[in-house]
Amino acid sequence: MKRILFSLLIISTGLLNAQNNTSYWQQHVDYKMDVDMNVENFRYTGTQELTYTNNSPDTLNRVFYHLYFNAFQPESEMNARLTSVPDPDARMTMNKGTKENPEIVSRISELSPAQIGYLRVNSLTQDGKELQYEEVGTVLEVELAEPILPGEKTTFNMQFEGQVPEQIRRSGRNSTEGIALSMSQWYPKLAEYDFEGWHADPYIAREFHGVWGDFDVKITIDKDYILGSTGYLQNPQEIGYGYEQEGTKVKRKGDKLTWHFVAPKVHDFTWAADPEYIHDKLVAEDGTVLHFLYKNKEELKENWKKLQPKTAELLAFFNEHIGPYPWDQYSVVQGGDGGMEYAMLTLITGERSFGSLVGVTAHEMAHAWFQHLMATNESKHEWMDEGFTSYISNEAENVIMGSSSPNPHTNSYRGYYYLARSGREQPQTTHADRYAMNGLYGASAYSKGAVFLAQLEYVIGEENLAKTLNRYYDEWKFKHPTPNDFIRIAEKVSGAELDWYLTDWTQTTNTIDYAIDSVEEKGETTTVILQRKGLMPMPVEVDVTYANGSEETFYIPLQMMRWEKPAEEEVKWTVKDDWAWGFPTYQLEIPVAKESISRIVIDKSQLMADINRDNNSWDKSGEEDSSN
């Protein structure tokens, strides 16, 4: 018995030392913050007590905090990038010239000292000991007084102050729609340390990665301000504004109110405040309380009321197709500069058509799963949060808006094709800040990222993809999954080998191009010569329409998958010999005379992202018809 225990101990220690995802661990934080906001000058002061648990197998001698608001200063790295990238974000620039002679300048460059953002640390201790630290742009570098050993906890106490910048990007004061405070990335936030080491990324453009934990936050602010926030309000009877128990009276005391929120198991904490918010609530089918906060303006009301039942439908769709939303509330709040996802909350601009309002809510709410539950590192694997979110929100919108399109991802495919043919594509492994242009990031993360999943349906089948998403949720919620973690789930669910798919699609700019080279008659059989012209491998489905109107699909497995896709469709499904990637051509034998065939098409579903569809079809009438 003892011997068995001893060998078990060795095995588990061995696993702990093997630094890859076969032995998953993650750090843990517990934040307690108390902040006081001055709504006249947009300055705030705060205290932060942070209990940090080092679950890594490593001893830590330093830690890092993000000071995101420091990006909104004329001398910042964010501004340097903004003024040097060829296609700056239009929200971050303004035209100082005329329409005819435009002079586009950075809005950050124009900020006065009273308008910039900043976040300053005034004191910091570790278990009572003063710490040495240095503010380096948007990152605070901290030398620890005592190393944090594996498995140990330490407590940091901090005093900090900040100034909310004019809204330039995502957060800030006085948004274009007049929202007073959009408070995201507003507090000193501990950087994540994981199996790849520290992620103390400077705030240049995008995006975020954080440590999982529990938040307890008190926000003191002028009593006229109404808040939407991450977490659950602990003192609704002192606050009111629609948070109180229905039918009860609330007595507010003093000039300021202290809003007390707790948020369990999140990696971010965001809030917004405005004195003119309307606050509506809707309890969804699963019991989640949906909060809607928007400006009290006549022209907004109709769309924002109609949005509410649609949000409940979206929640139900994501619950079913990904996994149950685990928190008790979700808030849709007018704020920010477009749409951005946060824990239990989104900030969206609100002056939109109804379709656009539902569209942005669908996208941001889907991020509650693909970022706030399966929390990928958005800087490293931007396609996993933006792409997966785009995929599932396209699917959801298609259903709840009643469009019922057979392929709701056509815009994503279009975006990807444009990118692939541009000659400027960079692999999806590019850090999100380091694309040559913003547009290249967008097409890669959103469009090519959505196609990753839509095309995976072609590769492993609809049912396997659906099961993969559910199992991804089951195994990776409240964690930090990597691309390999996702593809391993798809492999385990389907049984197919899929490493090639992850490698070629996400780590290279290889493209897919399969072609029908020729169709030859040999007596009572027809030989179709297929060609692989692109470098990226794929299984090939050849759809044949016979002269009598019947249809048949010939499925050519990709040999390196060591697997065959199960037949799904109504049409006749015939599995042919494997195609090994190294062979540039393949002979497909169809056991009928050529005159009995009217049309041959490679992948009529168009889910395979073939960059040249002109060579995918053959028509009896035109022989080389390319009108697919």
Number of residue whose CB is nearest Zn ion? 386
Instruction: Report the residue number, 386 or 513, with the smaller CB distance to Zn ion.
Output: 386
Least spacing, CB of residue 371 vs Zn ion, in Å = 8
Please name which of 164, 163, 142, 136 lies closest in space to residue 77, comparing C-alpha atoms.
Answer: 136
Nearest residue (CB) to Zn ion, 386 versus 491:
386
Helix 388-400 / helix 354-366 crossing angle, nearest 10 deg: 140
Stretch binding Zn ion (CB under 5 A), from 179-187, 272-280, 383-391, 395-403: 383-391
Region binding Zn ion by CB under 5 A among candidate stretches 23-31, 77-85, 382-390, 593-601: 382-390
Shortest spacing between CB 318 and Zn ion, in angstroms: 14
Q: Which two three-digit tokens encode residue 310?
A: 């649609």
Phi/psi for 26 (5° steps) reads -145, 150
Report which of 141, 158, 151, 128 is spatially closest to residue 61, judged by C-alpha positions.
Answer: 141
Q: Shortest CA distance to 375 belongs to which of 459, 258, 469, 477?
A: 477
Structure tokens at 544: 């044949």
- Residue 267's DSSP bridge partners are none
Least separation in angstroms between residue 107's CB and Zn ion is 22
The least distance separating Zn ion from the CB of residue 363, rounded to whole angstroms, comes to: 6
Nearer to Zn ion, 220 or 393 (CB): 393
- Backbone torsions φ then ψ of 6, nearest 5 degrees: -60, -45
User: 596 phi and psi, to 5 degrees?
Assistant: -85, 0
- Segment lying near Zn ion (by CB under 5 A), choices 46-54, 319-327, 389-397, 488-496: 389-397
Tokens of 306: 């109609």
- CA-to-CA distance for 165 and 617, rounded, in angstroms? 56
Burial of 246 (0-12, 13-18, 19+ CB in 10 A): exposed
φ/ψ region of 266 (left if φ > 0, alpha if ψ in -120 to 50, else beta) reads: beta
> Is residue 386 annotated as involved in ligand binding?
yes
Angle between helices 298-321 and 388-400 (to 10 degrees): 110
- Residue 18 is given by DSSP the state S
CB closer to Zn ion out of 378 and 513 = 378
Q: What is the largest CA-CA distance in the chain?
A: 94
Print the binding letters for residues 451-490 with Zn ion: x by CB under 5 A, - otherwise: ----------------------------------------
> What kind and span of H or E run contains 451?
helix 449-460
How would you class 302 by CB atoms within 10 Å of its CB: exposed for 0-12, middle for 13-18, buried for 19 or more?
exposed
Contact, 293 vs 271, CB < 8 A? no
Interface region with Zn ion, contact rule CB under 5 A, candidates 162-170, 189-197, 379-387, 451-459:
379-387
Instruction: Give how far Cα 77 sits from Cα of 183, 378, 417, Å.
Output: 21, 19, 32
What is d(CA 488, CA 118) in angstroms, rounded to the nearest whole number? 42
Q: At what angle do helices 449-460 and 388-400 cross, to 10 degrees?
A: 80
Report in angstroms how near the CB of residue 379 gets to Zn ion at its nearest: 14
Find out whether 117 and 69 touch, Cβ atoms under 8 Å: yes
Write down the least CB distance from residue 445 to Zn ion, Å: 8
Q: How far is the CB of 118 from Zn ion (least distance, A)?
A: 27
Nearer to Zn ion, 386 or 541 (CB): 386
Residues touching Zn ion, count (CB under 5 A) = 2
Residues 528, 542: contact at Cβ < 8 Å? yes
Stretch that binds Zn ion, among 12-20, 213-221, 385-393, 563-571 (CB under 5 A): 385-393
**Cα gap 388→373, rounded to integer Å:** 13
Residue 256: how many other CB atoms lie within 10 Å: 17
- Give 386 or 543: the residue with its C-beta nearer to Zn ion: 386
Task: Mark whether 446 is an active-site residue.
Answer: yes
Half-sphere exposure of 234 (CA within 13 A, CB side): 12
Looking at residues 188 to 207 of the shown chain, list those that interact with Zn ion (rule: CB under 5 A): none
Nearer to Zn ion, 389 or 447 (CB): 389
Q: Is 395 annotated as a binding residue?
A: no
Burial 468-484 (b: 16+ CB within 10 A, else e): bbbebbebbbeebbbbe
Q: Which of 182, 195, 498, 545 is nearest to 339 (CA)?
A: 182
Tokens 């405005």 identify what position?
A: 274
Binding span for Zn ion by CB under 5 A among 123-131, 155-163, 277-285, 378-386:
378-386
Nearer to Zn ion, 241 or 370 (CB): 370
Cα 212 to Cα 125: distance, rounded to the nearest angstrom: 22
What the block records as the tokens of 386 is: 């933006």
Instruction: Select 389 or 468, whichever has its Cβ closest to Zn ion.
Output: 389
CB 389 to Zn ion: min, Å: 5
Closest approach of Zn ion to the CB of residue 540, in Å: 33
For residue 363 the two structure tokens come to 């996208």
By CB under 5 A, the residues from 431 to 450 that bind Zn ion are none
Residue number, 408 or 461, with CB nearest to Zn ion: 408
Q: Which stretch binds Zn ion (CB under 5 A): 7-15, 116-124, 387-395, 431-439?
A: 387-395
Catalytic, out of 294, 446, 458, 473:
446
Q: Tell me how far, at minimum, the Cβ of 340 lies from Zn ion, in Å.
A: 8
Of 166, 177, 207, 364, the catalytic one is: 364
Q: Is 367 annotated as a binding residue?
A: yes
Annotated binding site for Zn(2+): 363, 367, 386
Residues marked active site are found at 364, 446
Annotated binding site: 363, 367, 386
Which positions lie near Zn ion, rule CB under 5 A?
386, 389
